[in-house]
Amino acid sequence: MDSAPLKRSPINDFHIEMNAKMADFGGWEMPIEYPADLGGGVLNEHNSVRERVGLFDVSHLGKASVTGGGALEFLNQAFTNDLTKIADGKAQYTMLCDEKTGGVVDDLIVYRKSPTDFLLVPNAANTGEVLNRLSKKAPKEIRIANNHMDYGVFALQGQLAKDVLRSLGCAVELPYMAFTNALIAGREVTICRTGYTGEFGFEILPNWNEANEVWQVLLEEVRKRGGLPAGLGARDTLRTEMGYPLHGHELSLEITPLQAGANWAVGWSKSNFWGKEALLDEKAKGPKRLMRGLLLQERGIPRAGMKVFVNQSEIGETTSGTFSPTIKAGIALALLDASLEIGAEVFIDIRGKNVRAKVAKLPFVPSRVR
């Protein structure tokens, strides 16, 4: 049976014209990096974000609306974080867990427009499963709609991101995780003070059929400041330096929020949320494994799925790995035996060679999101 054709971003023509290297991300054909001869490449794009500003197309991310009387109460008893602790006009990072096991179905951002109107931004590959699980449990007065191809999503990241939006007449003095409506290129967009790079920045949601005009105007201002369009390769190196989890790597149905070190996004005092009983049980016993950072002490580039050893005893495996352009060393995220402490020496089996590393405190580089 032939697989379904890959979906494409509303600005796919731009990526093709730029001769970007494309790949499948959750069923979407998206850019990994732009050509080095045009100033791109993962290293240049990464450094552009850390040092100046970069612009990502992340329109593959899901978009869904949950509306109707009781929407706040319903979502709050489904998701891990506490939606009653944020006001209208704020967004929140949260997770949807399996009711029985506490494993993570998906991690996502929830935009609270009002107690009866929410926008969900899940991961591309998990959007269908998130909406399916919510729809099965939702009261009849609550409407759940898949808006995946109604909006684009652009991430404007870096210390000069505020200058880019200010030059376009947009309000930029937003608190972290707050959102507002604005006009860019005469098109209405939603702007939220968030991102996935550890840098100050915004995520911008234009209407799908107006996304190209918004992208072009943003990119022109980014380039004026020495910035670059950036692909998902740089997004991955940036988020790995920050220790941010990626579903399918540091979070999954087999990996709980406790194991991933994401229990800060769990509203333990809430009366209920999906998976609470299983997670409380794990919390009481203590998770047997925890996500840790690994900083290589020798040359090497770790990747996901590599075994980690202490004294020739296997104590876990890497979930993500890369070369860090910022600290210029190999780094990894790994699920390791919970008894292992920061500073411990371990070895990673990189293609048959044991490479020395140390358990490092996350993030690998300081966060500048605020």
Look up the CATH number of the domain holding residue 346: 2.40.30.110
- Report yes or no on 17 lying in a domain: yes
pLDDT beyond 90 at 330: yes
Look up the CATH number of the domain holding residue 121: 3.30.70.1400
- Report yes or no on 301 lying in a domain: yes
- Identify the pLDDT of residue 369: 96
Which residue among 209, 240, 271 closes a domain? 240
- Report yes or no on 257 lying in a domain: no
- Identify the pLDDT of residue 2: 59
Packing angle between helix 42-51 and helix 232-242, nearest 10 degrees?
A: 60
Distance CA 99, CA 273 (A): 8
pLDDT beyond 60 at 299: yes
Q: Is 140 found in the same domain as 71?
A: yes
Backbone φ and ψ for 365, nearest 5 degrees, come out as -130, 155
- Identify the pLDDT of residue 335: 98
The average pLDDT across 312-338 equals 98
For 134-143, give one letter per residue: b (16+ CB within 10 A) or e: beeebeeebe
DSSP class of residue 72 equals H
Q: Is 178 found in the same domain as 295?
A: no
- Report yes or no on 269 lying in a domain: no
- Identify the pLDDT of residue 223: 98
Q: Do 181 and 189 form a contact (C-beta atoms < 8 A)?
A: yes
pLDDT tens per residue across span 240-270: 999 999 999 999 999 999 999 999 999 999 9
**How many domains does one find in the chain?**
3
Q: Is 160 found in the same domain as 132?
A: no
Distance CA 290, CA 110 (A): 26
Coil/strand/helix, residue 41: coil
- Identify the pLDDT of residue 38: 86
Closest CA to 287 of 263, 264, 271: 263
Q: Is 125 found in the same domain as 13?
A: no
pLDDT beyond 80 at 3: no
Q: Is 363 found in the same domain as 307?
A: yes
Q: Is 369 found in the same domain as 303?
A: yes
pLDDT beyond 60 at 1: no
Domain region containing 169: 7-60+150-240
Supply the pTM of this predicted model.
0.97
Which residue among 217, 240, 263 closes a domain? 240
DSSP 144-199: EEE-TTTB--EEEESTTHHHHHHHTT----PPTTBEEEEEETTEEEEEES--SSSS
**Summary mean pLDDT of the chain:** 97
Q: Is there a cis peptide before residue 363, judged by omega within 30 degrees of 0?
A: yes
- Max CA distance (Å), the chain: 62
Distance CA 171, CA 192 (A): 11
- Report yes or no on 270 lying in a domain: no
- Identify the pLDDT of residue 259: 98
Q: Is 25 found in the same domain as 170?
A: yes
Q: Is 208 found in the same domain as 126?
A: no
Q: Strand ranges (DSSP E) for 297-352?
A: 307-310, 313-324, 329-337, 345-350
Residue count of the chain: 370
Residue 331 burial class via C-beta count within 10 angstroms: exposed 0-12, middle 13-18, buried 19 and up: buried
- Report yes or no on 318 lying in a domain: yes
Q: Is 198 found in the same domain as 54?
A: yes
The average pLDDT across 132-141 equals 98
Distance CA 130, CA 107 (A): 10
Distance CA 8, CA 214 (A): 17
Residue 200 burial class via C-beta count within 10 angstroms: exposed 0-12, middle 13-18, buried 19 and up: buried
Strand-by-strand arrangement of the 28-33 sheet: 7-8, 28-33, 21-25
Q: Is 97 found in the same domain as 205?
A: no
- Identify the pLDDT of residue 97: 98
The average pLDDT across 3-30 equals 96
pLDDT tens per residue across span 42-99: 999 999 999 999 999 999 999 999 999 999 999 999 999 999 999 999 999 999 999 9
- Report yes or no on 283 lying in a domain: no
Residues sharing a CB contact under 8 Å with residue 137, sequence separation 6 or more, in sequence order: 74, 78
> Containing H/E element for 43?
helix 42-51
Distance set, CA 264 to CA 34, 255, 295, 327, 363 (Å): 36, 15, 24, 27, 15
- Report yes or no on 277 lying in a domain: no
Residues sharing a CB contact under 8 Å with residue 84, sequence separation 6 or more, in sequence order: 72, 76
Closest CA to 225 of 180, 279, 164: 164
Packing angle between helix 71-78 and helix 127-137, nearest 10 degrees?
A: 120
Neighbours of 216 (CB within 10 A): 12
Percent of the chain's residues with pLDDT above 70? 99
